């Protein structure tokens, strides 16, 4: 245990006129699950593509498993496994043949390869479908097969790019189980990207929140949530004049921030007892409250706090970069 298996320093990746990754630095330690969390177009997939030698960095340094991705790409390739965001299976081959071709490309052969393939197909519950063609597989089965395939060469580091995107809730839960047991049983360092908060919170030991090509916060889920303190109350006011809503001063409000023109974000110790106080304080300022909601802080609140927008709303805001990162 211990030791840094991935070091990224000042990574920049520019596509023609779009900067997809803009100065990202982080370190991943051996044996942990490290998550890149952010909306589509944040630069997560591009970062993964640079780390897996599929794209060359514009500037910055990237070491994976002790090797520079620019100088020794083959050494890096030997030590990593990848599950891409988009499927990368050969539909015209059987599950077994997909595994077999992959194993041979990684220099495995003979009986030990055959045994390993069956073991891994067993691990992802696909053993009975070993000799069926992949074109008849469901989305979840394909995902599981790709996970099994990526483990064939016993990678030191496993990259999972949006491992549960487009899957139904039961299948997602199942993929989560596999990811947890990969970490436990096979002692593999995992780097994953996701735009699902619950996924990052459930699986990742440490999380980087990415937005617009930058890492805007990093830490464990608890550390990230402690940025906000305790409960968070959102109050929307009627704003006739379009003027700025003043912050509410009260003994119960720990911190007050403006999320939108007509909405305040109030950090309080206990929402239930603080809300009546907030109403009183608003009344004293002559403000009309239209809507109140409160949440225990989740990573979503952290994201709103850091960027001023909801994670799920960000889809439309960066369509150019989103398409750039997923051209295949």
Per CB under 8 A, residues contacting other proteins are 15, 49, 52-56, 74, 77-78, 82, 84, 86-94, 97, 101-102, 104-107, 109, 133, 327-328
Rounded CA-CA distance 40/312 in Å is: 9
Which residue has 């189980």 as its token pair?
A: 177
To the nearest whole angstrom, how small is the minimum distance from the Cβ of residue 46 to other proteins? Answer: 10
Rounded distance, CA 122 to CA 9, Å?
Answer: 39
Which of residues 87 and 219 has its CB atom nearest to other proteins in the complex?
Answer: 87
CB 96, min distance to other proteins, A: 10
Q: Pick between residue 56 and residue 288 the one whose CB is nearest to other proteins.
A: 56
Kindly state the tokens that stand for 252.
């119960």
Give the burial string for 174-201 (b: 16+ CB within 10 Å, else e): bbbebbeebbeeeebbbbbbbbbbebbb
**Closest approach of Cβ 269 to other proteins, in Å?**
49
- CB closer to other proteins, 84 vs 129: 84
Comparing CB distances to other proteins, the nearer of 86 and 291 is 86
Least distance (Å) between residue 138 CB and other proteins: 16
Helix (H, G, I), strand (E, B) or coil at 272: helix
Return the number of the residue (88 or 239) whose C-beta is nearest other proteins: 88
- The distance of closest approach from Cβ of residue 327 to other proteins in the complex, given in angstroms and rounded to an integer, is 7
Pick 46 or 307: Cβ nearer other proteins: 46
Contact between 254 and 268 (Cβ < 8 Å)? yes
Measure the CA angle with vertex 87, ends 18 and 124; round to 5°.
135
As measured in angstroms, the least distance from the Cβ of 143 to other proteins is 13
Lookup: tokens for 245:
């809503």
Secondary structure (DSSP) of 237-264: E--SS-PPPPPPP-TTEEEEEEEETTEE
């Amino acid at each position: 245990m211990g030791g840094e298996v991935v070091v990224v320093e000042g990574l920049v990746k520019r596509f023609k006129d779009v900067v997809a990754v803009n100065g990202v630095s982080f370190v991943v330690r051996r044996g942990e699950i490290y998550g890149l969390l952010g909306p589509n177009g944040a630069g997560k997939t591009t970062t993964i593509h640079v780390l897996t030698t599929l794209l060359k960095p514009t500037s910055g340094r990237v070491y994976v498993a002790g090797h520079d991705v620019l100088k020794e790409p083959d050494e890096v390739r030997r030590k990593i496994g990848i599950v891409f965001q988009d499927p990368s299976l050969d539909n015209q081959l059987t599950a077994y043949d997909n595994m077999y071709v992959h194993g041979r490309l990684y220099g495995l052969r003979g009986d030990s390869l055959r045994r390993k393939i069956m073991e891994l197909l067993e691990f992802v519950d696909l053993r009975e479908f070993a000799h069926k063609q992949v074109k008849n597989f469901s989305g979840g089965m394909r995902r599981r097969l790709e996970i099994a395939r990526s483990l064939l060469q016993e990678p030191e580091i496993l990259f999972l790019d949006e491992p549960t995107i487009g899957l139904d809730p039961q299948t997602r839960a199942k993929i989560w189980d596999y990811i947890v047991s990969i970490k436990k049983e096979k002692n593999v360092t995992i780097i994953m990207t996701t735009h699902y908060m619950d996924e990052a919170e459930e699986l990742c030991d440490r999380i980087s929140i990415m937005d617009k090509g930058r890492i805007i916060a990093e830490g464990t889920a608890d550390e990230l949530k402690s940025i906000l303190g305790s409960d968070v109350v959102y109050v929307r006011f009627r704003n006739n004049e379009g003027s700025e809503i003043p912050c509410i001063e009260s003994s119960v409000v720990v911190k007050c921030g403006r999320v939108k023109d007509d909405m305040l974000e109030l950090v309080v110790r206990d929402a239930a007892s603080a809300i009546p106080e907030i109403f009183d304080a608003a009344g004293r300022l002559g403000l009309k409250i239209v809507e109140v909601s409160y949440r225990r802080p989740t990573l979503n609140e952290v994201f709103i706090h850091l960027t001023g927008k909801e994670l799920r709303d960000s889809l439309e805001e960066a369509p150019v970069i989103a398409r750039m990162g997923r051209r295949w």
